[in-house]
Amino acid sequence: MTTITPLIICGGNGTRLWPVSRVQSPKQFQRVAGPGSASFFQSAVQRHRIDGFGRPLVVTGARHARTVSDQLQQIQCDADILCEPMGRNTGPAVLAAALHLLPRDPQALILVVPADHVIEGNLNEAVLAMAPAARDGRIVTFGITPRYAETGFGYITDGGAIEAHPGLHRVEGFVEKPPKDRAEALVAGGSAYWASGISLFTAATIVDEYRRFDAATVAAVERAMAAAVPARQGLMIDRDAFAEAVAGATESVVFERTDRIALCPLDVSWSDVGSWTAMYGISKRNRQGNVLQGDVLALETQNSMVRSDSRLVTVVGMSDVIVIDTEDALLVARVGHCQSVKQIAEHLKAQQRAEAERHLGTTREWGAVKQMVASAHFSMSSLTVNPGASVSILPLPGAELVVVNGEARLGAGGGTTVLATGERTVLDPAAAVRVTNATDAPLEVLHMANAASDAVEPDIAAARYA
């Protein structure tokens, strides 16, 4: 039985999907179809939970390791997690994963899967069919039949069939994000494919080929993996050694230079969902051509996408618009103009606006936390604790807890205190307190403190609760 390790690469910020996607909670962790649906990352993991595929391996930034762990837990999937201390592009990430698997089995098959794409169709059948070619030392890259002349994608040109492996083709060349006339010629020629970012090879093959073209980076990543240490959510790659790796994409460092590369055309529906226009294009529409997600009411409106994450949004007399509403930001754009959303996100980041970095609220396995006030002298957060769950609150000076709704059991110093709705208490500034919801209804509390200056740092509210 063929066993392939899905390697899920969880990098990138996805700024074109702002305001849902942010630096602290990027595109891959957002819900594909709005509240209640699976995230892009979860969908990527679920896609390969069938016979022939083994335990997933996830490479993500250290700041996102907890989100990865939480979302894996939500879909009841065990996986190995490698935490990057900083982003070095896909090359070092793939290398780290291959070196992690190499001691167990040099011939371990690795399927590189982007965490933020939407794919419909039988991808797995094609992947499993290419396993013999990968075991023979081929690096198989999967191409998508282009639906139109897209200038934002890379292309792979077909060099003819490889008779030893049915369905496999030689690669004539790579074309990176061509101008419109070149893209149109590639599509019209019928022998070019969109580069999907999906590839298959053995651990030994990718390490050997990477060593041929960038031995210094291989050596740096080898040192980084040798010095990696266990962390709460996975294995933390050594920072100093990893920083010495050259930041490069696997495609440019290896694929475009090796003679082992091969192409497998895919007959699937694929989108990298690089904008809200693209999201609208892949979503199910109603009879008016609208995509409505969340608490939305649309009247006399056609061919539009309206998404609300928290409150009622009404739209009247609109056509060809994108409306995305979150707790702290609203985006309104014309369909077809959504590539410019990236400029909005970059402008907000340059102004050091919190809306570019993070959402007000963060969901955890125990419930949710929403930062309501954050300054150098005071902070206030709202916590919702799920029935039967507990959360530890780290000590802060002048901290108080108020029960807004429900019953809270506070454990500290070996004792237990019970607070009912409307009651409050001053917390010990030197010790953590454990808050437990032993009821069958959600518990809502307010946590206030004389915060230190780190209150304005990204995600600090969520960091205080574990």
Choices 2.60.120.10, 3.30.420.40, 2.30.290.10, 3.90.1150.10: CATH for 361-463: 2.60.120.10
Task: Please give the mean pLDDT across all residues of the chain.
Answer: 91
Predicted pLDDT of residue 454: 44
Q: What is the mean pLDDT of residues 42-57?
A: 96
pTM above 0.75, yes or no: yes
Predicted pLDDT of residue 451: 67
Predicted pLDDT of residue 463: 58
- Residue 418: is its pLDDT beyond 60? yes
Dihedral sign (CA 186, 200, 120, 267): positive
pLDDT band with cut points at 50, 70 and 90 for residue 456: very low
- Residue 374: is its pLDDT beyond 80? no
Where are the CATH 3.90.550.10 domain residues in the chain? 4-271
What gap in Å lies between CA 208 and CA 218, rounded to an integer?
Answer: 9
Q: What is the mean pLDDT of residues 296-315?
A: 95
- pLDDT greater at residue 117 or residue 360: 117
Where are the CATH 2.60.120.10 domain residues in the chain? 361-463
Phi, psi of 461 (to 5 degrees): -60, -45
Predicted pLDDT of residue 457: 39
Task: Count Cβ neighbours within 10 Å for each residue of 323-349 and write b for 16 or more, e otherwise.
Answer: bbbbeebebebebeebeebbebbeebb
Q: pLDDT by residue (tens digit) across 226-269? A: 999 999 889 999 999 999 999 999 999 999 999 999 999 998 99
Percent pLDDT > 70 in the chain is 97
pLDDT band with cut points at 50, 70 and 90 for residue 460: very low
CA dist list (Å): 333 to 20, 294, 330, 338: 14, 18, 10, 7
Predicted pLDDT of residue 414: 75
- Residue 25: is its pLDDT beyond 90? no
Which residues on neighbouring strands pair with residue 58, listed in sequence order? Answer: 8, 81
CATH superfamily of 4-271: Spore Coat Polysaccharide Biosynthesis Protein SpsA; Chain A (3.90.550.10)
- Residue 206: is its pLDDT beyond 50? yes
Predicted pLDDT of residue 465: 80
Predicted pLDDT of residue 60: 96
pLDDT band with cut points at 50, 70 and 90 for residue 413: confident
Predicted pLDDT of residue 23: 82
Minimum mean pLDDT range among 130-134, 230-234, 286-290: 230-234
- Residue 159: is its pLDDT beyond 90? yes
Q: What is the mean pLDDT of residues 33-37?
A: 79
Dihedral sign (CA 106, 139, 99, 208): positive
Please name the amino acid found at residue 273: V
